[in-house]
Each structure stands twice: as structure tokens, then as C-alpha cells.
């Protein structure tokens, strides 16, 4: 009998015997009852984030939820819900997590063997549960280590946290730090499994202009932290050279102007393994004059999930006080949700990809490959490259810009077709403010390939060299 028990024990270990590390809910956080989550039987703390815009008419406070844990080996995740899960959807499909739902719809489970970042949606995107299963953390610093600013588990009203060269800021799992991080210098690392929160501050009234401000730095790393409830732009680089953003999760959408990542006059950037949800733009590449107008170049974005509620997935340009923008590449991205349609005739139009150079600046060598865009039946522009006059620092440009050598490849819109048209709009302003060299390869809407003759394609004046493959 003892031998049989030992065999059964070993079988259990091989099936779901991986290690799970999950910090408890930070003191002072409201207990979430609409979801319960366990990973290999261990409870996972669930937090809430605000999901509406308190500055618009008819505001009603609403929430969505997130949880995070670390694991190795195989992990059985169980989610219990107060609302039926019979019509649940897990996005994106890329992680291969197929839920098994109980007969009464109150519970689902799935097995994971690799890290994942998903949205569990029981009735659409409202009150979704974002769940992040991370690899086990290694080489975590300790409180008191030289050059380390350390926040342990619990609530912290930190205000402005200022970092200089060769420092590390560490937010431990179970820490909720309300404040701003301002990093100026080289070889700075911001990391940990904790939460940087902005909920203590009204819109535009935080302890600094942006939640994470990285300025004039080389070799700067932001890794694994969770950011929620921002008061303004979230992660902003200004005049930097060499930035890694890896495994960052943003639970925004508390208000408009909460851009996820703004790369301003920054070069040599890698963004990967990130889950970003905001109300405003997800990836914004800008020229604000930092670093003496340094070019925005050599930017690589990959293996991530994006969700905007009221703006663009990519806005490249608009503010263009930069020498140029070039060599910007994105690959293997899932767009889980996009905002309401606003067409190219509107100044504040919306698109998945918005190329918007102005101020005489050239945007070139910008490429997007291997995207899955989940459609819920609403329309959205896929690509807008419209040369128009914008502004920077309150001053309007007198000329727009130009686009050269850009491409979309292997872009698939999937899900519910509904009213989706997916405009591709290309237009210049003059022979000097034009669009040249756009390559569109294997663009499909619900399995149908888009060609130059498709009704969604709009190629207007001062556009040359458009190629469909």
C-alpha cells in the first residue's frame, strides 16, 4: 500500500507538481469576490483596476481585475466566477490555453506549462480578468543591497521616487507603491513583481508628470512590474539610448491621456513580453525635442498583447520634434480590443497603425509583421498614413511630413466580422509631403485576402509605390 501511495504521489507530481509562487493580497486592497483563482491549488491574489473615464459626461465607475503568479513545470489553473462562464473566451489564442468549463458554468480550468498573459472574458471585455503566469523570478535583490531602493510587501505612499545612475528599484510581490518613478542616468533597472499605482492621484496631478519617466539614460531596464490606474502617460522615455522593457503589464484605462509607452527621442529600444491595456494610445513614438531632437530609431517591439479602449494601437508621429523616425519593427502581436471607429476625415481619427509624421520630418523603414487583430464586429481603420498638420509644445507645424518604405505583412483580422471594413487610407499633402513605398503583404480579413481593388483601400493624391503581395 505504501508503494502504491508513493506511485500515486509521483504521478501527481508529474501532472501538476510544478512550483507556484503567489504573494497574498496587499493589506488595504479590497477583496474581490467576483473571481477566485488558484494555481496548483494555491490561491492567487486578485486586484481590481478602474476601467472608465471619470472626465467624460455620464461617468460611472467600473472595474476589471488582474492577478499574477510565478510557476514552473505544469500548472493547473482554476477560476471560479460569480457570473456564468459558459460563454467564456480566453484571449489571445496564441498561448493555447483551452478552458474546460464546469456544467453549471461557475468554474473553468486549464493547464499551462509555459508563461502566459491572457484576458478571461465571460461576457465580452466588461469586467474581464487579466491573468499573468510568469516564469519563476531569479536573482531578485534584497533590502539593504548596495544601490537598491527596495519596497517590500504592503502599501506604500511613495510620492516621487528618484533614481540615478547604477541604481536598482525593486518592487516585491505583494507591494503596492503609489507614486512616480523618475530615473535620470545610466545603468538603471526597475524591476519586481509588485504594483506601481496611480489611484491616489487625480488626472494630471501626480507627484511627477508621468508615472515612469526615464530621461537621458543609457542601458535602462524596466522588467516585470505591474502598473495600474495612471494619472497621465505611463512609461515615457526621453532622450534615451538603450532601453529594455520586458514583461511589463499595464492595467490602465482609468482615464484618457494614459498612453502606455511613449518613446520620445529615444533609440535602440526593445519592448517584449508585455500586456498593455489603456484608454489612450498603446505605443506612441514621438519627438518632444529631448536629447537635442535625437532621432527615434532602432525600435523593436515583439511578442506582446495590446488593448486600447479609446485611441490607437500605434501612433507614430504627431509630435515630431526629432531628426527622423526610422527602423521601427513590430512582430508577433495580438490586438485584443480596439477603440470606436473614427475615420480619416476626423482630426483625432483612430487606427490600428497610424503613421503621422509632421513638421517636415521623415518616417521611414517601419514594418509590422505577424499580427492577430480580434474583432467584435465593430469597424476600425487598419492603416492610416495621412500627411496632415499637427503640433508640438502647443505650436502648430507649418508643414506635415513624409513616409518612406513601410510595410504590413501577415496581418489577420479574426473574430466576428459584423460591420468591420478595415480602411487602409493613404494620402499626402503635396509632392514634398507625400507617401512613397508602402508594401502590403498577406493582409486578410476573416480569411479573405485584401488587394488594391478591395473596397477598404483608399489611395489618394501624392501617394506612390504601393504594392500588394
E strand intervals along 92-171:
100-101, 107-112, 116-121, 129-135, 148-151, 154-163, 168-171
**Per-residue pLDDT, 213:** 98
Give per-residue pLDDT as tens, 396-432: 999 999 999 999 999 999 999 999 999 999 999 999 9
The phi and psi torsions of 29 (rounded to 5 degrees) equal: -80, 140
Mean pLDDT, the chain, whole residue set: 94
Q: Which CATH architecture has domain 233-468?
A: 3 Solenoid (2.160)
Q: Of 31, 23, 130, nearest to 70 (Cα)?
A: 23
The phi and psi torsions of 4 (rounded to 5 degrees) equal: -65, -45
**Per-residue pLDDT, 18:** 85
Q: How far is CA 386 from CA 185, 238, 396, in A?
A: 37, 26, 17
Give per-residue pLDDT as tens, 281-302: 999 999 999 999 999 999 999 9
Residue 195 sits at the vertex; the CA angle it makes with 63 and 80, to the nearest 5 degrees, is 50
**Residues 198, 275: Cα–Cα separation, whole Å:** 18
**Residues 295, 86: Cα–Cα separation, whole Å:** 50
Residue 153 predicted with pLDDT over 50: yes
**Per-residue pLDDT, 300:** 98
Give per-residue pLDDT as tens, 240-259: 999 999 999 999 999 999 99
**Residues 65, 119: Cα–Cα separation, whole Å:** 10
**Per-residue pLDDT, 388:** 97
Mean pLDDT of 12-33: 82
Q: Where are the domains of the chain?
A: 15-135, 233-468
Report which secondary-structure segment, H or E, holds 51: none
**Per-residue pLDDT, 343:** 96
Residue 81 predicted with pLDDT over 50: yes
Give per-residue pLDDT as tens, 170-229: 999 999 999 999 999 999 999 999 999 999 999 999 999 999 999 999 999 999 999 999
Q: Are 39 and 68 in contact (CB under 8 A)?
A: no
Residue 308 predicted with pLDDT over 70: yes
**Residues 54, 272: Cα–Cα separation, whole Å:** 31
Residue 56 predicted with pLDDT over 90: no
Residues facing residue 68 across a β-bridge: 132
39-48, 54-63, 344-353, 408-417: least confidently modelled range: 54-63
Give per-residue pLDDT as tens, 346-386: 999 999 999 999 999 999 999 999 999 999 999 999 999 99
**Residues 114, 98: Cα–Cα separation, whole Å:** 14
Instruction: Output the CATH code of domain 15-135.
Output: 2.60.350.10
Mean pLDDT of 97-107: 98
**Per-residue pLDDT, 6:** 35
**Residues 263, 258: Cα–Cα separation, whole Å:** 14
**Per-residue pLDDT, 54:** 61
Residue 52: pLDDT band (50, 70, 90) is confident
Q: What percent of the chain has pLDDT over 70?
A: 95
Residue 14: pLDDT band (50, 70, 90) is very low
Q: Of 250, 215, 244, 209, nearest to 50 (Cα)?
A: 250
For the entire predicted model, the pTM comes to 0.95
Can you give the length of the chain in residues? 469
Amino acid at each position: 500500500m505504501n508503494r502504491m501511495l508513493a506511485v500515486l504521489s509521483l504521478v501527481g507530481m508529474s501532472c501538476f507538481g510544478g512550483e507556484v509562487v503567489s504573494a497574498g493580497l496587499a493589506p488595504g486592497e479590497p477583496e474581490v469576490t467576483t473571481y477566485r483563482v488558484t494555481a496548483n491549488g494555491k490561491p492567487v491574489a486578485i486586484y481590481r483596476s478602474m476601467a472608465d473615464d471619470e472626465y467624460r459626461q455620464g461617468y460611472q465607475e467600473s472595474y476589471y481585475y488582474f492577478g499574477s503568479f510565478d510557476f514552473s513545470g505544469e500548472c493547473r489553473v482554476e477560476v471560479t466566477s460569480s457570473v456564468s462562464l459558459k460563454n467564456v473566451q480566453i484571449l489571445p489564442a496564441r498561448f493555447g490555453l483551452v478552458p474546460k468549463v464546469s456544467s453549471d458554468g461557475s468554474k473553468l480550468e486549464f493547464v499551462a506549462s509555459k508563461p502566459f498573459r491572457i484576458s478571461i472574458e465571460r461576457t465580452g471585455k466588461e469586467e474581464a480578468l487579466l491573468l499573468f503566469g510568469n516564469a519563476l523570478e531569479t536573482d531578485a535583490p534584497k533590502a539593504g543591497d548596495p544601490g537598491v531602493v527596495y519596497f517590500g510587501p504592503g502599501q506604500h505612499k511613495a510620492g516621487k521616487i528618484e533614481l540615478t545612475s547604477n541604481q536598482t528599484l525593486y518592487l516585491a510581490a505583494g507591494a503596492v507603491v503609489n507614486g512616480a518613478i523618475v530615473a535620470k542616468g545610466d545603468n538603471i533597472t526597475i524591476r519586481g513583481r509588485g504594483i506601481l499605482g496611480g489611484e491616489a492621484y487625480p488626472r494630471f496631478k501626480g507627484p511627477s508628470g508621468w508615472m515612469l519617466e526615464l530621461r537621458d539614460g543609457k542601458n535602462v531596464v524596466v522588467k516585470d512590474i505591474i502598473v495600474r490606474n495612471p494619472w497621465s502617460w505611463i512609461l515615457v522615455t526621453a532622450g534615451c539610448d538603450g532601453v529594455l522593457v520586458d514583461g511589463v503589464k499595464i492595467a490602465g484605462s482609468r482615464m484618457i491621456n494614459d498612453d502606455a509607452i511613449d518613446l520620445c527621442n529615444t533609440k535602440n529600444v526593445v519592448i517584449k513580453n508585455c500586456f498593455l491595456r489603456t484608454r489612450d494610445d498603446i505605443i506612441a513614438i514621438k519627438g518632444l525635442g529631448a536629447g537635442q531632437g535625437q532621432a527615434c530609431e532602432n525600435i523593436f517591439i515583439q511578442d506582446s498583447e495590446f488593448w486600447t479602449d479609446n485611441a490607437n494601437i500605434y501612433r507614430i508621429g504627431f509630435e515630431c520634434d526629432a531628426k527622423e523616425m526610422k527602423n521601427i519593427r513590430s512582430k508577433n502581436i495580438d490586438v485584443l480590443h480596439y477603440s470606436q471607429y473614427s475615420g480619416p476625415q476626423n482630426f483625432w481619427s483612430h487606427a490600428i497603425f497610424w503613421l503621422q509624421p509632421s513638421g517636415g520630418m521623415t518616417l521611414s523603414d517601419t514594418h509590422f509583421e505577424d499580427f492577430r487583430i480580434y474583432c467584435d464586429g465593430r469597424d476600425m481603420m487598419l492603416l492610416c498614413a495621412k500627411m496632415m498638420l499637427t503640433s508640438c509644445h502647443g505650436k502648430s507645424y507649418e508643414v506635415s511630413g513624409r513616409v518612406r518604405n513601410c510595410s504590413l505583412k501577415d496581418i489577420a483580422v479574426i473574430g466576428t466580422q459584423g460591420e468591420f471594413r478595415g480602411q487602409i487610407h493613404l494620402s499626402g499633402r503635396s509632392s514634398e509631403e507625400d507617401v512613397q513605398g508602402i508594401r502590403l503583404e498577406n493582409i486578410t480579413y476573416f480569411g479573405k485576402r485584401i488587394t488594391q481593388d478591395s473596397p477598404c483601400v483608399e489611395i489618394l493624391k501624392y501617394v506612390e509605390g504601393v504594392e500588394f503581395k
